[in-house]
Each structure stands twice: as C-alpha cells, then as structure tokens.
Amino acid sequence: MKAKVIGFINRKGGVGKTTLSICVATALTLGEQKYRVLLIDADTQRSAMKWVNRRETDPLFPVVGLPTEMIHREVKHHLPNYDYIIIDGPGEIGAITRSIVLASDVLLIPMGPSPVDIEATEDVLSLLEQAKPFKEAMDQEIRVAFVVAKKDSRTALGRDIVEALSVYQQPVEPRTIPVGTLNTHICTRVVHAESAATGQSPLEVEPTGKAAAEVIALTIEILKFTDG
Ligand SMILES: Nc1ncnc2c1ncn2[C@@H]1O[C@H](COP(=O)(O)OP(=O)(O)OP(=O)(O)O)[C@@H](O)[C@H]1O
Ligand SMILES: [Mg+2]
C-alpha cells in the first residue's frame, strides 16, 4: 500500500497550517489503527522541525524538513513506508506550494472564520486551477477542502460565513474545482499554543479535553474525505 498524502496550504500565515499538520499527524499515530505517519515540513521557517526539537521525549512520528520545489519527486521515495504523509506548507504561494499540490492526494486549506480569510484563499484556488492539467496528466484529480481553524468557541459560525464558504462548493467559471468545507471546526484554545511549546499537542497533554476531541473528529473526517 502506498501512503496517502495530505497537504496543508494557504497563502496566509498564522492560520493554523502547522498546528493542524502536527495535530492530525499525532491523531493518526496515536489512534487505534496506529498509522505510520511522516510529517514533512515544507516551510523555510521550519516551524514543525523546531516543534519536534522542543520535545523532551522521543518523537511520535518522524519529521523531515523539505522546503524545496521538489517535494513531489522526493515524496515518492517515502510512499511505500507510511500510511499517511502530512505536508505542512509555507504561508505563501510559490514553487513550494505548487510542488505540494502536485505531491498531495488531498489539499486542506486552513483559515479563520472571517470574510477576509476566505477572500485570501483566492490565490490558492487560482494556483489549484493552474495545477489541475498537470494533475490530470498524472491521472490525479484535485481534492480540496477548507478547514475552519481558530474559531471562537463561544460563537457559532455566522450565517454570512457559512454562505460565503458554500459558494465555493459549486464553482462558477472560470473556476472548475469544487471546494467544500469540513464540518469539524477547530476552536482557538490555549492548550494548542501551550502544548506546542513543549513539542506536543493537545492529544498528549489533555487527551480528554475539548481541543483533543475536535482534533480527533477532524482527523476522522479527513480520513473519510481522503479515502472517499
Ligand atoms: N486552535 C488554536 N488555538 C490556539 N492557538 C492556535 C490555534 N491554532 C494555531 N494557534 C496559534 O497560532 C499561531 C499560528 O499558528 P500556526 O503556526 O499553526 O499557523 P501557520 O498557518 O502554520 O503559520 P505560518 O504561515 O507562519 O507557518 C501559533 O502561535 C499557534 O500556536
Ligand atoms: Mg506554519
């Protein structure tokens, strides 16, 4: 079996790409299935590498730094050895993100629940449209979804946001790629930042907490989306 590759991308920084990459990789590793997971840090800021280096105990899964435009080539060497490969993308659109798109079976776009954040995804969606012919030439389709991250836990998603997101599900020309939104939202919770400070995630420090429950629900949804 070849690994499935899941890439987290967005042009915007600070939206939770690294946090979600780490959380999902951890959930896949610690879950009942004990998946074999590789986390690729594709950001020149090396946030995921720094995160794992802050750990006092052994890493739960390997983290490799590959901030290059050759990820789609490099990833092939790792496919036989893992069940899932997670790629943490940089906060910009360029050759590295293009390479992540070519490398990935599924692309997830984390973003905050604000109209500004939704608008900021336009460049990513354009990049995906540009990449589509190349993916098709490799017999691959583009599967992509938004993930609402850093949501205020006290408020529901506004109707305007839900509507703005749903527009992308039925693309209008020149867009051709449908972009759904995963049902699980990740709220802003201090345990995310606190656990990251010691190279961990909420799943390790508060396994029965709300943040962990959200991460587990999101991971289950991502698996369905990836395998479905
Ligand atoms: N759900 C959350 N709750 C609380 N803090 C969060 C959450 N998600 C992310 N953060 C914090 O927000 C900051 C930015 O998150 P993160 O590094 O995951 O974003 P990013 O998209 O990877 O940014 P960059 O583009 O700079 O790599 C970090 O300090 C992180 O700890
Ligand atoms: Mg990051």
Q: How confident is the model at residue 44 (pLDDT cuts 50, 70, 90)?
A: very high
Find out whether the beta carbon of 15 lies less than 6 Å from any atom of ligand 1. Answer: yes
Neighbours of ion ligand 2 (CB under 5 A): 17-18, 47
Phi/psi at 125 (nearest 5 deg)?
-65, -35
Find out whether the beta carbon of 14 lies less than 6 Å from any atom of ligand 1. Answer: yes
Closest CA to 93 of 47, 125, 117: 125
- In tens, the pLDDT along 77-135 reads 999 999 999 999 999 999 999 999 999 999 999 999 999 999 999 999 999 999 999 99
Residue pair 150/12 in contact by the 8 Å Cβ criterion = no
Tokens, residue 71: 């990820």
Give the pLDDT score at 123.
Answer: 95
Which residue's CA is the nearest one to ligand 1's atom 11?
193
How many C-beta atoms surround the C-beta of residue 220 within 10 A? Answer: 13
- In tens, the pLDDT along 1-35 reads 899 999 999 999 999 999 999 999 999 999 999 99
Find out whether the beta carbon of 19 lies less than 6 Å from any atom of ligand 1. Answer: yes
- In tens, the pLDDT along 63-75 reads 999 999 999 999 9
Structural domains in the chain, CATH included, are 4-227 (3.40.50.300)
Cis preceding-peptide flag for 178 (omega within 30 of 0)? no
Which residue's CA is the nearest one to ligand 1's atom 12?
14
Helix (H) or strand (E) holding 31: none
Per DSSP, the residues of 84-140 read EEEEE--SS-SHHHHHHHHH-SEEEEEE-SSHHHHHTTHHHHHHHHHHHHHHHHTT-
Give the pLDDT score at 54.
Answer: 98
Q: How confident is the model at residue 228 (pLDDT cuts 50, 70, 90)?
A: confident
Segment 124-149 shows an average pLDDT of 97
C-alpha dist (Å) from residue 48 to 5, 56, 121, 221: 17, 15, 22, 23
Q: What is the pTM of this model?
A: 0.98
Q: How far apart are CA 154 and CA 32, in angstroms?
A: 31
DSSP 3-state of 37: strand
Find out whether the beta carbon of 147 lies less than 6 Å from any atom of ligand 1. Answer: no
- In tens, the pLDDT along 178-211 reads 999 999 999 999 999 999 999 999 999 999 999 9
Residue pair 213/189 in contact by the 8 Å Cβ criterion = no
